[in-house]
Amino acid sequence: MPLPGSNCVVDISHYSKVSSVAQVKSDGIAAVICKATEGAQIVDKTYAPNRKAFKPAGFKWGSYHFSSGDPAILQAENYLSHADPQNDELICLDYEPSFRGPNMTFDQMMEFITILHRETDRYPMIYGGSLLRETLAKQSDPILAQCPLWYAYYPTRSDHPIACRNLGRIGPSGNTRTAITAPAHRPSRASAIATGTPTTERPPTCWQTGRSPDIGAGLRF
């Protein structure tokens, strides 16, 4: 069901099934952020086919790397090689607890960001929630102030349509679905986008129906 005037963003990965790109567009989705890589060696095999399907259809496109405790230089090489980010595409580091061993440390995160900036002349967006807050509780760095923040926020209820991470659902409490679905075991996670230094304060949800003042500056497509 389309949401008039919406500019929603969804993220997808191999967990997501895209049944119709045209339907996704008609439902008011403006941009797609797709998982590209994880750790030093893992690649998402649906990344290239999804990029080929969505970009020519007029969607803004972005990619993200899921962090791990592997050497940062190897993770950066994996991401840059597989995602091959172009100048018109968003780049993002997904800073969450690793499913495979130790988590990425603060120093590894800074090294990853530095490498990406050196290679692309851009700072990546940082996605995160509790792990990011805990990691930055006693840390600060001016480089992080250059990275837009994609903040994981899980409301207990919704008073307005929001975009839910991974499931790609929009509408009050996720009742309105796009043509992107994911397995039932994947949690519904609402996200927000803010700019500036990551903070322990909860930023406002800005993926709302209609024009969002933060989306352009935050996403930097």
Compare 69 and 7 and report the one with higher pLDDT: 69
> For residue 194, what is the enclosing H or E element?
strand 189-194
Question: What is the pLDDT, as a whole number, of residue 1?
Answer: 53
Compare 120 and 198 and report the one with higher pLDDT: 120
Question: What is the pLDDT, as a whole number, of residue 26?
Answer: 86
Query: Can you tell me whether residue 78 is helix, strand or coil?
Result: helix
> 175: pLDDT confidence band, cut at 50, 70 and 90?
very low
Residues sharing a CB contact under 8 Å with residue 41, sequence separation 6 or more, in sequence order: 70, 74, 78
What is the pLDDT averaged over residues 132-150?
Answer: 87
Say if residue 117's pLDDT is above 80: yes
Say if residue 95's pLDDT is above 80: yes
Say if residue 63's pLDDT is above 90: yes
Compare 5 and 70 and report the one with higher pLDDT: 70
Residue 68 token pair: 């791990």
Would you state the torsion angle of the CA atoms of residues 194, 196, 202, 141, taken in this order, to the nearest 10 degrees?
140
> 125: pLDDT confidence band, cut at 50, 70 and 90?
very high
129 DSSP 8-state letter: S
Q: Is 159 exposed, middle or buried (0-12, 13-18, 19+ CB in 10 A)?
A: exposed
Of 152, 174, 148, the residue nearest 161 (C-alpha):
174
Say if residue 72's pLDDT is above 90: yes
Say if residue 197's pLDDT is above 70: no
Compare 153 and 214 and report the one with higher pLDDT: 153
Of 162, 178, 128, 192, the residue nearest 16 (C-alpha):
178
Question: What is the pLDDT, as a whole number, of residue 174?
Answer: 28
Question: What is the pLDDT, as a whole number, of residue 2?
Answer: 56
Q: How many other CB atoms are found less than 10 A from the CB of residue 131? A: 16
What is the pLDDT averaged over residues 101-119?
Answer: 97
Question: What is the pLDDT, as a whole number, of residue 38?
Answer: 98
Mean pLDDT taken over the chain: 74
Compare 57 and 9 and report the one with higher pLDDT: 57
- Full-model pTM: 0.73
Say if residue 138's pLDDT is above 90: no
Say if residue 85's pLDDT is above 50: yes
Residue 190 token pair: 């609402």
Residues sharing a CB contact under 8 Å with residue 119, sequence separation 6 or more, in sequence order: 76, 80
Say if residue 27's pLDDT is above 70: yes
Domains and CATH numbers, the chain: 8-219 (3.20.20.80)
